[in-house]
Structure 1
Amino acid sequence: MSHGKKIDWFPYLLLIPALLITLIIVAWPLVETIRLSFTDASMNPATHYVGLDNYEEMFSRRFPEVIARTFYWMSLSVAFKMCMGIFGAVLLNASVPGRTLARLLVMPPWIVPIAIGVFIWGWMYNGQFGMISGIAQRLHILSGPFEFLAYKNSAFMSTIVTDVWIGTPLVTVYLLAAMQSVPSDLYEAAWTDGASRMYRFRRITLPLIMPAISTMALLASIWTFNSFDIIWILTEGGPRNATTTMIIDTYKTAISRFRYGEGAARAVMIVIFLSIFSACYFSLIRKLSNRGGVK
């Protein structure tokens, strides 16, 4: 512009439709949610501005406990997904007979609609006719029928197992693709030098796929944090709120109790927590990259 050059506006004009769609489906709902969080919106048509009352009431109750439970649930689930995903990717990347069939069989938990898969897990958790309770009784692990979804600790772990079963295939395939991009020359040189399989994995595979691991860990954390259907179908947040996460608590408040203002305040807190978590995560990855931990 300083040298009198003309700006070609045509590429910017092509971006206008995408920008409008983004504003309509992302920006406007977010702004409207923030606005509702400062009101007493409910089934009553009359809506009044209440300031920070919704946020103060939210934290005066058991919401901090819900926050801690959400991060605990997310941390356990993501940790299991990543560990099993890395282990599965290593197995599927090995040159063994039937590898193609194994790669196909790992996908059904992700391909099957989530609702159907969760309903099947609900049947297996049933104490009277469920497969898990039946096998445990035959092996004399249990002395009688056990309702996994009727007790706080077992229900909490059951939802994690189901979430891990659904999410692990995607992590496995993603990391498998990353492993296949590692140059084979590096493995051949290390093998020639007498490096063991574990040494090759630690010194070659793991450092080179670390960017993929970091990206998938962040995506898995966000997806798990926002997971609704798995918990809702299995327990609806019970028993006694043992599986009530932030997203479940938001749904109960806004939809079940028709307190839209309070539900909007909870939704805003979810956005804030995820934004802070993502910022901290990227900051950590950047520091590791600068130190040479991730290349």
Structure 2
Amino acid sequence: MELRQLEHFLVLAEELHFTRAAARVHLVQSSLSSSIAALERELGTELLVRSRRGVELTEAGRALVPAARRSVEAAEEGRDAVAAVRGLLRGRLRLGAIQTLGEISMPRLLAEFHIRHPGVYLQLRHGSVPALVSDVVDGELDAAFVDRPFDDRRLSTRPLAVQSLVLAVHDADPLAERDHIALRELSDRDFVEYRVDSALRARIDAAYERIGLRRNSICEVDTIPDLLGAIEHGMGIALVPPETLDRHPRVRALTTKPRIDRELVLVHAAHRPLSPAAAAFFAGLDL
């Protein structure tokens, strides 16, 4: 069984389409088919079947995926470790991040790391905190920038910053003339909410529960730009990170009493050593 065959199989398992998979591994389709067929012969079973929609994995194929992934990752880690001994840094750095990170600029961090280590291939994925944390624990990501709350029992955490949310209102709203507001004054106002599976929403809900108040939620959206766009069109008000208002001139920000703080942290799996690329990223952070 050759490593390249496992690599070809994993790409095909992701794409479930021979043409797309062949393009990803820079082979003609017939060469990819030959590689998979050779792997099937060595294992003595079919790993996939063709269908009208593309490719479907057999039960044996599905069983092979995690083992094949571990083998390919182990080989990559070995190459990276040898390169590190030689004073070189290569491999991949897979990072995750939530949509808003205060004053932390992911493009800047990636650009600075690339200048120091041009041989490392960088990947950035955005998602919800539960999804990112799960991917870190499962080894799909090397690290992730997230905000609390989340289950940190299998994670190592590095605190980054604490910021207070602000109340976002349309500039024609009577509240726009004020600088701060007590949350108790908002019992009759309509709220536009961020997605329910987010740590940001959990933080807001917890703060309201502590003071015994309820919000009149009229809309839930999947992205911060959509949330602020709704406010720009006079749909309601919302609690958001302050940096999200920079590109929304028709939206004003008020501080709240009590404050609703969120803690930004960088996490990686506690049970797995950092790859050389991830270790270099952590060492170079100045946050």
Greater share of helix: 1
Greater share of strand: 2
- TM bracket (short chain): under 0.3
Q: Tell me the TM-score normalised to structure 2 length.
A: 0.22
Q: Which has the higher contact order (CA 8 A, sep 6+)?
A: 1
